[in-house]
């Protein structure tokens, strides 16, 4: 029997969600299955190719909802989980006890662990470290920006590998290891260990580039690195460089998209009710995310439109900050 698991690609929480789901499935649903892991990315246009839903069971974790009848499992925690009101209505009307959604969770991994414990009797203690780090990283629950940027913890080094890789086979190879091995041991795997030195060097270079490119004004950072090979840069670097910032808006580019990243400083002094809901901002441009972090994907050749959207968002966030501090 084949179970295909679709996960949020180039994302530590996405990989951990797929790993945890596969372990839960083996221990509490059915053993002796062949798991196939397929990464999904947010891009302009269609997000799903139904021809890929070829498992005896198909699961989506940490990614948007699909109405396809071939999808038998779904877990997500993003505020922007539904592409349309029709998708949201379809989810509300479905009778399955295999599809779950809760935007109050910081990470999809912890959400899966909670549902698995409450509804399927799963014991999460053997993977407690994986669940904890997925929650810290995806929820930006670091004690300070130094921990997030200095990359000393094994989980943070693995995050860098996952977010930076251009090899579509790497994360699917990592996922089975995440389900069963300590994070420190995974770093020593022959297909992982050689990647770290050049990535750490690239990380230091990216800090220098962003130091030169960031413009900080009225609580909001703006930067454009579309001319740099910085896909997968550490998203906490702007706050490391500008600790007094509240928001950041960044433009980057890869082979398949021009991306506007919109984030907020996890260590900002503002109260939650004073913060702009960034998922709602991004949704206006066809993107989405969480209240504190979101993104918008444009076609690779739509740099001008992406730059216009970024400028509008920067102006909105700076105006919001100025009103609070008037």
User: What proportion of the chain, given as a percentage, has pLDDT over 70?
Assistant: 100
Residue 24 CB burial class (10 angstroms; 0-12, 13-18, ≥19):
buried
- Give the domain 206-324 fold: Diaminopimelate Epimerase; Chain A, domain 1 (3.10.310)
pLDDT-based confidence at residue 255 (cuts at 50, 70, 90): confident
Q: Give the number of other Cβ atoms within 10 Å of residue 206's Cβ.
A: 19
pLDDT band, very low/low/confident/very high, at 270 (cuts 50, 70, 90): confident
Q: Give pTM, 2 decimals.
A: 0.87
| Spans of all domains in the chain | 2-187, 206-324
Look at residue 67 in the predicted model and tell me its pLDDT: 95
Residue 270 CA to residue 178 CA, distance in Å, equals 36
User: pLDDT at residue 231 above 80?
Assistant: no
Class level of CATH domain 2-187: alpha beta
Q: What number of CA atoms fall less than 13 Å from residue 55's CA on the CB side?
A: 20
Instruction: Please tell me the predicted confidence (pLDDT) of residue 111.
Output: 98
Name the pLDDT band for 156 (thresholds 50, 70, 90).
very high
Q: What is the mean pLDDT of residues 208-224?
A: 97
Output the pLDDT for position 273: 87
Q: Range with the lowest mean pLDDT among 17-21, 42-46, 66-70, 72-76?
A: 42-46
**Any idea which residue has 């909670």 for tokens?**
114
Report residue 311: phi and psi, to 5°: -65, -40
End-to-end CA distance of the chain: give it in Å, rounded. Answer: 62
């Amino acid at each position: 029997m084949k179970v295909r698991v679709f996960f949020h690609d180039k994302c530590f929480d996405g990989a951990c969600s797929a790993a945890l789901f596969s372990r839960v499935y083996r221990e509490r649903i059915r053993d002796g299955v062949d798991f196939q892991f397929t990464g999904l990315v947010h891009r302009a246009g269609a997000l799903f190719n139904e021809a890929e839903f070829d498992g005896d069971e198909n699961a989506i974790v940490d990614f948007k909802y699909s109405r396809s009848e071939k999808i038998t499992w779904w877990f997500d925690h993003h505020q922007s989980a539904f592409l349309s009101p029709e998708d949201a209505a379809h989810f509300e009307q479905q009778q399955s006890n295999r599809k779950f959604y809760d935007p109050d969770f910081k990470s999809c991994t912890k959400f899966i662990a909670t549902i698995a414990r409450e509804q399927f009797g799963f014991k999460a203690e053997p993977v407690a470290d994986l669940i904890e780090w997925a929650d810290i990283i995806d929820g930006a629950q670091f004690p300070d920006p130094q921990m997030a940027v200095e990359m000393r913890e094994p989980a943070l080094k693995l995050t860098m590998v996952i977010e930076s890789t251009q090899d579509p086979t790497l994360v699917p190879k990592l996922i089975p290891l995440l389900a069963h091995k300590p994070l420190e041991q995974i770093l020593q795997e022959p297909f992982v260990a050689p990647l770290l030195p050049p990535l750490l060097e690239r990380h230091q270079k990216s800090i220098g580039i962003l130091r030169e490119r960031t413009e900080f004004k009225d609580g909001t950072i703006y930067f454009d690195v579309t001319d740099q090979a910085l896909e997968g840069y550490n998203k906490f670097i702007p706050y490391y460089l500008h600790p007094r910032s509240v928001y950041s808006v960044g433009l980057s580019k890869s082979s398949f998209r021009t991306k506007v990243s919109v984030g907020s400083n996890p260590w900002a002094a503002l109260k939650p009710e004073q913060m702009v809901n960034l998922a709602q901002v991004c949704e206006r441009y066809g993107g989405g995310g969480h209240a504190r972090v979101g993104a918008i994907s444009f076609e690779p050749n739509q740099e001008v439109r992406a730059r216009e959207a970024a400028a509008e968002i920067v102006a909105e966030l700076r105006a919001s900050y100025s009103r609070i501090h008037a």
